[in-house]
Amino acid sequence: MRIKRILDISGVINDKTTIWPGDEGVTLNRIQKIEDGDSCNLSTLHIGIHTSTHIDAPLHFIAGGVDVSSANLDKFIGFAKVFYISTEKCIKASDLSGLDIQSGDIVLFKTSNSSLDMTGSFNTGFVYLDESAASWLVDKDVATVGIDYLSVEDYYAGNAVTHKLLLKKGIGIIEGLRLDDVPEGEYFLSCVPLKIEGAEGSPVRAVLVEFDKEI
């Protein structure tokens, strides 16, 4: 096989990036500038762990859980299946029952979220996974679940049941994917978190690789 194309499914990170309410924004500070006579451009970055496209490690909701520096990378590198779910509110188990989802799969859900402006105001009405869908995926023993907004969980959920069901079983979570231009199908996913010791998540640069199956 040879690479046909690489699809960038990551959100842009800048001071206009949509952030979860209560999170701090993004600040890129240029502390050295060539135009000011410095030998190079040098910057510092202030950013929340869960900004734009990112992964959640178990530590995010599980006391004593694995942090992102110890995360199992085969949850975020490997062949992945992209499914389009047309529901307008939430993904339920009944939306998944007819899909080709098997044990060990990395599954990415494309919804109407992908058409939302991720440099605009936060949208509390995004499509999410409900408890029945999370339980169904746990029963299927999938490796990873990805979704195209900033959380797999309902914004108004108070107990984080979806997160906890997935993370307690070691299922990887990818949030903030940009899948608007991605057709359903199977791709190779690379979505590697930064090795930040003690952190409960990490921003990622997520890409899908589409292969030309003809040799």
- Read off the DSSP letter of residue 67: -
Q: By the 8 A CB rule, do 178 and 204 touch?
A: no
Tokens of 172: 């990887």
Residues 150/127, Cβ–Cβ less than 8 Å:
no
pTM as predicted: 0.96
Ordered structural domains, the chain, with CATH:
2-11+49-212 (3.50.30.50)
Q: Are 60 and 166 in contact (CB under 8 A)?
A: no
Query: Tokens 């939306």, residue?
Result: 95
Per-residue pLDDT of the chain (215 residues; tens, 9 = 90+): 799 999 999 999 999 999 999 999 999 999 999 999 999 999 999 999 999 999 999 999 999 999 999 999 999 999 999 999 999 899 999 999 999 999 999 999 999 999 999 998 999 999 999 999 999 999 999 999 999 999 999 999 989 999 999 999 999 999 999 999 999 999 999 999 999 999 999 999 999 999 987 64
Do the Cβ atoms of 163 and 152 come closer than 8 Å?
yes
What phi and psi, each to the nearest 5 degrees, are found at residue 35? -70, -15
Residue 214's pLDDT is 64
